[in-house]
Structure 1
Amino acid sequence: MMRAEGKATRSANRSSPWKSSYVAYGLLLGSLLVLLYLMVSTQFSYSQKALLDPAAIDSAGTIPAKHRRSHPGQATVDDASRGMEEFSRDEEEEEKAKAHTEPSTPRRQEKQDESEQQWAGRNSIEEQLGNEMKSDNWEAKSQDKNEEAAESKEFGGGTDDYNNVANAKPICDTSFGKYDICELAGDARAQGGPGATVTLVSPRAPPKEWQIKPYSRKYLDGLKAVTVRSVPNPGDAPQCTTQLNIPAMVIELGGLTGNYWHDFTDVLVPLFIGARRFNGEVQLLVVNLLPFWVDRYKRIFGQISRHDIVDFENDDGAVRCYPHVVVGYGSRKEFTIDPSLDETGGDYTMLDFTRFLRHAYSLPRDRPIKLGDVRPPGGRRRRPRMIILERTNSRKILNLPEVVAAAEAAGFKVTVAGRPKASYDEFTREMNSFDVMVGVHGAGLTNCVYLPTGAVFLQIVPYGRLEEIARTDFGDPARDMGLRYIEYSVAAEESSLMGVFGKEHPMIKDPAAIHLSGWGNVAEWYLGKQDVRINVERFRPSLLRALEHLQ
């Protein structure tokens, strides 16, 4: 028994040192694992703090070594990991991607700016404008860019992005039924002669061709067409013989030119619309040039262009090259300008046109007389001046002396004028001297353009439901000129047609039916074969209204 107990005691004594060493090894290994865990955790928390805390980023724009994190998949146990002195390339790209959430330092801001410049080069104008909206001067920047984009689209089509050519505004707009208009900007070459052509050389414009009648009413017979082309290569266009650094306009003087009202409605007003923006620095290339007609309005043409007019049809052998050529002209409404419809390039109105005429002819009066303001030394009030336009063919005032007497009795100083006998320049000055103009509907009323702004325009409308025509041709334009417009409609009893047809004839009883029968009867009878005998008692309220407008 004693022997067995001693054996057991010896065995226990022998195994005790081994057990102690196992425990020590285990404790040591556990301590190392805990230390490793703490170091890894500390390193990870520091690197996260460096990404979020501005104080963790040093002045050079880098994260200090104690805050850096390693490349994914590489463990950091202790300071022996300092071989990672810089971020890896993948981490730098990741940091750039997060730049918009991180505070900017000079170095990082520089990299961010470089990245934005590269981005701007890759993205569309719309995205760039959206990014610039955050800046204080976005409105000015966007205005400049919008103007540049509008100019490039308006004058020849497209932007610098060749892929957007399909979305560009066409060189020629033929969508409007009254007239066509073409804008060629860049390398524009005009070759005269019987087969006149205007060619735009531009890689942005696909090859195309138009036949354009450069007149304000393209539907009229007898007009001559000009060929407008776009080509991508200079070799496909005629070679320049003359190079001018001014714009040009191609227009035609055929059609209804020669009728006084059509002179202004079809040519002079549309020419103002198309050319005024150039402020005289434009050359006119004219198809169907009428030298005597141009000479009549030479002062107007002299204000439109300071350069010689080119007879485009007879300009054989010359190829005139310009940075900008306009082919065609027109106005959307009759005898007036609508800035919302007519692209004037300067938001010009009919009021601007009449000021332009007064400047061209050096007319002295901008305003009519204002009653009560001016009294001569004797104390007697000066009478406003009235001109009554006398017609010698149709639509004559048969009792003109009675009308004159009624106007004088109302307080006007009256002058009756037929066709001007003086030069046209002198006639414009005479027209400008009047405060009131009276006349039966007809081309002579076109002289209202020379009246001072605020003067009175009294239109006598012949019988036959012609009020709409009268307002379209003169009433609306007169208001647009700043004139005080009055309309007097002739009654059936005042028309000479009553004696021709009698009151039961459709010509008198049913003018609407005459209009439905066709324009021929309207033009022949109501306009071509009618005179008027004004009932002065019925007319007197119109005269008094004219006086009221001058108070």
Structure 2
Amino acid sequence: MRRGEAKGSRGANRSSLWSWKSSYIGYGLVVGFVLMLLYLMVSAQFSSSPNAYLGGPAKISQTESISSARHQENHAGQEDGNRENEEPYNEEVARTHTEPSTGNERNSDITEERHQSKRKDNLGIIPAECVIAGLQYLLPVVKITRGGTGDFHNVANTKPICDTSFGKYDICVLDGDARAQGGTAATVTLVSPHAAPQEWKIKPYSRKYLDGLKAVTVKSVTNPEDAPQCTTRLNVPAIVIELGGLTGNYWHDFTDVLIPLFIGASRFSGEVQLVVVNLLPFWVDKYRKIFSQISRYEIIDLDKDHGVVRCYPHVVVGYGSRKEFTIDPSLDDTGGGYTMLNFTEFLRHSYSLPRDRPIKLNAIGPPGLARPRPRMMILERTNSRKFMNLPEVVAAAGAVGGGIVPYGRLENIAQTDFGDPAQDMGLRYIQYSIAADESSLMDVFGKDHPMIKDPIAVHMSGWGNVAEWYLGKQDVRVNIDRFRPAVTQALEYLQ
């Protein structure tokens, strides 16, 4: 019995050993097949673009050796003074999978379950950890971060890099290998094998419906050969904007350009280059202190940038604000959560204005010094809506005053364009409305004309009459007796 048992035992051991070897060989074949597929996928991915910013908007992080080689290759023509050791904008640091392996996986089902769960992450290729003949193989992590083109696996369903759904402005975000070419036909091109080839004509101004604005062509291509070749590369983001439009008017300077630019550029903390269409040097110089806080780099005149192709890791084309002359954090697509208080602080810092609130009239100063007196600023207009009795207004005010609204049922417009922004800045706003007999339009039309008698009907007739007469051809002669209570109210706010 013992001999027979021994024979039976040896037979069972041989059968068990052969079963174990067969399973191991089968497992090795499966793993080898998976490794081959992963190798082909990684090789195809790495060979699809010669640039460090592979995949355009989908930025790929590789192992240290691969990343270093690509970095040296792509910065051969970089501008002098650039930070050569600085990582590309928003590019993730490469790393390898370092989870230890014991060499004894429980069984192939558990291993397959682990791989299946890891494959659920469709943002990139998850490292495979396998054991073949007692050797451990670790694949580098290749992680893809989407930046505007959407699904890596389905080019047909990729998200467009340009959003033209806003009524006031268009905006495009090119994340990856973005190339700006100036001249008479300015273009900004995104090179990405994952973005469907598309093209847009964008007016990079905050009011795209205005006539006379220049358009920039924004497009995406899959092959680097279909894009202009880089002549210079700057390793910071860029914002392409347009001046002109209604700039030159103080109110439009801020609501059309400076506030939208503050919203769009603040997150870069000065590490951004402005690329400008229809550059107005005198206007930029006028707000030089503000622009110096927005960007630490030279402002590029794209219209005159002939023969130059500027390459960036991230480009935003267009800018705008959802509300007039103010900031609503809930509508801020940048995620910065900025408010008009932040913009006010930004302006004070730009112009080195330390005081952030008006003086208090009842404040007790140092002994021997007179109590503080408020100061009033009057903005004297010379074209339209100017004061016809300015000396009397100055004498009556004497200390402080409020915003003066011309005749013509303009209170709502004044509140939206001036009152709300002032309050969002933490200021108190006093509104003084001009009466019909204080308006120069009374002398032009007479008291029985609809322009005087029925301003609502004038508004209903279209914006043209409102803009021409109420805003463009009206001056005011302030009734000092009516104006005095507004001054008194302002003084009370300072107590």
> Same fold judged by TM-score > 0.5?
yes
- Which among 476, 481, 486 is matched to residue 532 of structure 1? 476
> For residue 236 of structure 1, what is the aligned residue in structure 2?
226
**1:385-408 deviation line (CA, Å, top 9, x unaligned):** 111222233222333333333323
- Which among 144, 148, 151 is matched to residue 156 of structure 1? 148
> For residue 45 of structure 1, what is the aligned residue in structure 2?
none
Does the residue aligned with 2:173 lie in a helix, a strand or coil? strand
**Distance in 2 of aligned mates of 1:380 and 1:240:** 65
How many residues were matched structurally? 391
1:313 to 1:396, Cα distance in 2 relative to 1, 3 A: closer
1:376 to 1:173, Cα distance in 2 relative to 1, 3 A: same
Contact persistence 2:105–2:111 (CA under 8 A): no
CA shift, 1:192, in A, is 1.1
- Which among 283, 293, 306 is matched to residue 316 of structure 1? 306
For structure 1, which segment, 365-374 or 391-400, has the greater mean C-alpha deviation from structure 2 after superposition? 391-400
**Distance in 2 of aligned mates of 1:533 and 1:502:** 16
> For residue 216 of structure 1, what is the aligned residue in structure 2?
206
- Which among 169, 179, 200 is matched to residue 179 of structure 1? 169
Query: Within the alignment, does 1:303 sit opposite 2:300 as a pair?
Result: no
Does the residue aligned with 1:162 lie in a helix, a strand or coil? coil
Query: Within the alignment, does 1:188 sit opposite 2:188 as a pair?
Result: no
CA shift, 1:199, in A, is 0.8
1:372 to 1:167, Cα distance in 2 relative to 1, 3 A: farther
1:545 to 1:174, Cα distance in 2 relative to 1, 3 A: same
> For residue 411 of structure 2, what is the aligned residue in structure 1?
467
**Distance in 2 of aligned mates of 1:87 and 1:349:** 73
**1:110-143 deviation line (CA, Å, top 9, x unaligned):** 98874553122332569xxxxxxxxxxxxxxxxx
- Which among 257, 261, 271 is matched to residue 251 of structure 2? 261
> For residue 122 of structure 1, what is the aligned residue in structure 2?
119
**Distance in 2 of aligned mates of 1:376 and 1:284:** 48
**Distance in 1 of aligned mates of 2:393 and 2:365:** 27
Q: Percent identity?
A: 71
**Distance in 1 of aligned mates of 2:19 and 2:424:** 73
1:113 to 1:489, Cα distance in 2 relative to 1, 3 A: farther
CA shift, 1:303, in A, is 1.1
Contact persistence 1:276–1:344 (CA under 8 A): no
> For residue 358 of structure 2, what is the aligned residue in structure 1?
368
**1:286-340 deviation line (CA, Å, top 9, x unaligned):** 1111112111111111111111111111111111111001111111111122222
1:476 to 1:86, Cα distance in 2 relative to 1, 3 A: farther
Contact persistence 2:273–2:295 (CA under 8 A): yes
- Which among 541, 544, 549 is matched to residue 485 of structure 2? 541
1:273 to 1:88, Cα distance in 2 relative to 1, 3 A: same
**Distance in 2 of aligned mates of 1:278 and 1:87:** 64
| Larger relative contact order (Cα-Cα within 8 Å, sequence gap ≥ 6) | 2
CA shift, 1:183, in A, is 0.5
Contact persistence 2:158–2:196 (CA under 8 A): no
**Distance in 2 of aligned mates of 1:216 and 1:407:** 37
Contact persistence 1:185–1:323 (CA under 8 A): yes
Letter in 1 for 2:172: C
Does the residue aligned with 1:500 lie in a helix, a strand or coil? helix
CA shift, 1:211, in A, is 0.9
> For residue 523 of structure 1, what is the aligned residue in structure 2?
467
Query: Residues 272-421 of structure 1: matches in 2 within 5 Å?
Result: 272-378=262-368, 381-408=371-398, 412=399
More helix by share: 1
1:368 to 1:88, Cα distance in 2 relative to 1, 3 A: farther
Does the residue aligned with 2:240 lie in a helix, a strand or coil? strand
- Which among 222, 226, 235 is matched to residue 245 of structure 1? 235
Does the residue aligned with 2:325 lie in a helix, a strand or coil? coil
Does the residue aligned with 2:328 lie in a helix, a strand or coil? coil
**Distance in 2 of aligned mates of 1:212 and 1:251:** 10
CA shift, 1:201, in A, is 0.7
**Distance in 2 of aligned mates of 1:112 and 1:468:** 70
**Distance in 1 of aligned mates of 2:425 and 2:110:** 55
After TM superposition, where is structure 1 displaced by more than 6 Å over at least 4 residues in a row? 78-82, 84-92, 106-113
> For residue 451 of structure 2, what is the aligned residue in structure 1?
507
CA shift, 1:248, in A, is 0.9
> For residue 39 of structure 1, what is the aligned residue in structure 2?
none
Does the residue aligned with 1:460 lie in a helix, a strand or coil? strand
- How well do the aligned residues superpose, as a CA RMSD in angstroms? 3.0
Contact persistence 1:156–1:186 (CA under 8 A): no
Q: If the length of structure 1 is used for normalisation, what is the TM-score?
A: 0.65
Does the residue aligned with 1:335 lie in a helix, a strand or coil? coil
**1:396-451 deviation line (CA, Å, top 9, x unaligned):** 2333333333323xxx2xxxxxxxxxxxxxxxxxxxxxxx5x4xxxxxxxxxxxxx
1:243 to 1:401, Cα distance in 2 relative to 1, 3 A: closer
**Distance in 1 of aligned mates of 2:188 and 2:111:** 45
Provide structure 1 residue ranges, at least 5 long, that are not aligned to the other structure. 1-77, 93-105, 127-147, 413-435, 439-457
CA shift, 1:207, in A, is 0.6
**1:366-386 deviation line (CA, Å, top 9, x unaligned):** 221123223352475322111
Query: Residues 106-145 of structure 1: matches in 2 within 5 Å?
Result: 114-124=111-121
Q: If the length of structure 2 is used for normalisation, what is the TM-score?
A: 0.72
Name which one, 1 or 2, has greater alpha-carbon Rg.
1
1:393 to 1:240, Cα distance in 2 relative to 1, 3 A: closer
